[in-house]
Structure 1
């Protein structure tokens, strides 16, 4: 049976050293005080790979909302109740967590979803392909987590449009560290929660430029933020799938890729496919057929797993099978000083 009990987390589960000081773009220069955390222990119905589900929410190694300290994963977020810091120690059959900040209770209540505990793989037929069957056998606890934080997922997806991961993660790091809120708790390094919706809306144009975000993407985040809470309500009321696509894609600058990425991170959609991704179709085609395919070919290959297509994609990435790169790594030109 699933349980979520508040109790004292064993001292070894959470680092005790407090980080002090911040980088030059941070909004806080003094480490916040650390009130006594709320703590919980969550036992999923079946063993799950919670750490893998949580790590999917990380935006690159330098993500200011995320830290890894030995077996403990740290995540800062801006919840509907305020900023929260989570320290999570995940085992197969037990997840222990401590939370600081005004959003601590909300974050602990949402913990099962973040860990993938609400993801239901029933009806998934891994045996349709030998690679998928083998990887599924080796990773029975693979689950798709969700944050339930729609605008955080949407803003990050827009920033990642049409650029390399290196560019996107760098922009996210700069903007969140500069305009987000310093996260509470004895974090192993300074962490920051993303800006509020109003905070995203008021980021000045020069700051987007300095972060390396192109004007169309910056404009999309700012204009979308003007819809604010009404947009979030519409997405949550839509229920998922194509209904969410219709809500998000009605906004200028948001297409099928951005909507899918938002569905995956915020809603844990097991069927979302990021069509128009630069690499995804090639990776799916290579894993399932041994050669490249385009987006239409990818969708045809994934169709037998309708309802679980994102699950298949996660298993492909978990397999370690990768298409051989055919050219030199892209080195994007930096125009920020021009």
Structure 2
């Protein structure tokens, strides 16, 4: 792997990152990497304030580094004749007060630390159904992202508890539109920087209510942001299972929420989102040809313990979908309660 970090200079001295002066990094990935597929899991809808996939080789995101705002654009170097398009150098340009400090961590966001080699060379991989092994062959650039942004991902996951995806997306967008600062640099219109713990603490109850967030979820967010220093320490823990257990010590965060967090923040290869409204049926329909429970899903995935999240990702990438029948989870309007 080769990495180059540069910050634009003028007049012989370094200047703060501005719209015309991004900090830049060029990184050579070890093996195939699909930018869009890897980073898309971080977003919630096409107008997510913190992530925009403008193309498979152009992704914008926002984050914070030591509390300072960052906007970043991920793209690829031009394709050389005969080269593998998934092995081109990754180009990262970052703007904002925290850009230069954040830049060395950018490769982790696109799966630098993730390796499928151990799984692919194991007997367990050969036990996978042909459709899942074919999915891996078809999607060799799919990696597990490790952002380390535990607080940001925790808030997103909490907002998704017990509601439809549409409700959660609307609430997240509304809250960030009201309280978050605009993304620095030439980021796409409407992008916002994830709020700090202090900004979340200052959200009044009527704002939560207006965004359609019920008191149980807003209270869980408040408990979580008050643990922000502890979450920063968890970001440094290399063991996703230990992080999941620690997260569940916060009231209102259970196994589903903890897994949803570490899948994105720690590249968790084994975290399974139990109690998900759809996942167990997806897995059980694929293996059993019938709906099933969380218990049955875990039983089916047990042969791949240690890599169960990889199996779930392959299942989704395979194109398999459970039959579309039965009652749908209807959105609830908490603003009138």
Q: TM-score range by the shorter chain?
A: 0.7 to 0.9
Deviation at 1:236, TM superposition (A): 3.5
In the superposition, relative to structure 1, how do residues 135 and 238 fare at CA in structure 2: closer, same or farther (>3 Å)? same
Match of 1:297 in 2: 296
How many pairs were matched up? 314
Q: Which of the residues 72, 81, 86 maps onto 1:92?
A: 86
Distance in 2 of aligned mates of 1:302 and 1:150? 26
Aligned match of 2:69 in 83, 96, 111? 83
Residue 11 of structure 2: aligned partner: none
String of CA shifts for 1:109-151, please: whole Å, max 9, x gaps. Answer: 1111111121021221432121211111111222101111110
Tell me, yes or no, if structure 1 residue 106 matches structure 2 residue 115.
Answer: no
- Distance in 2 (CA, whole Å) between partners of 1:237 and 1:100 is 24
| 1:334 Cα deviation after fit | 2.2
Q: Verify the 8 A CA contact 1:180 1:194 in the aligned structure 2.
A: yes
Preserved CA contact (<8 Å) 2:63 2:69: yes
Within 2, Cα distance between the matches of 1:305 and 1:246?
20
Identify which range, 258-267 or 324-333, moves more after superposition: 324-333
Q: Is the 8 A contact 1:86 1:107 kept in 2?
A: no
The aligned runs of 1:202-281 (5 Å cut-off) are 202-233=202-233, 235-236=234-235, 238-281=237-280
- Where 1:182 maps in the other structure, the secondary structure is coil
CA distance in 2, matches of 1:263, 1:142: 17
Structure 1 segment 1-338 matched on structure 2, within 5 A: 2-6=1-5, 34-70=19-55, 71-90=57-76, 92-93=86-87, 94-124=89-119, 125-128=124-127, 129-233=129-233, 235-236=234-235, 238-327=237-326, 329-337=328-336
Evaluate the alpha carbon distance shift between residue 134 and residue 203 of structure 1 in structure 2; reply closer, same or farther with a 3 A threshold.
same
* Separation of aligned partners in 2, 1:68 and 1:249: 31
Query: How far apart are the structure 1 equivalents of 2:149 and 2:161?
Result: 19
Q: Report the more deviating stretch, 190-199 or 72-81.
A: 72-81
Contact 1:62–1:169, Cα closer than 8 Å, also in 2: no
1:6 counterpart SS class: strand
Residues 25-80 of structure 1 show CA distances to partners (whole Å, capped at 9, x for unaligned) of xxxxxxx9624001121111112223211111002222111223344211111222
Distance 1:219 1:81, change over 3 A: closer
Give the aligned CA root-mean-square deviation in angstroms.
Answer: 2.0
Matched with 1:20 is: none
Length-normalised TM-score, structure 1: 0.87
CA shift, 1:298, in A, is 0.8
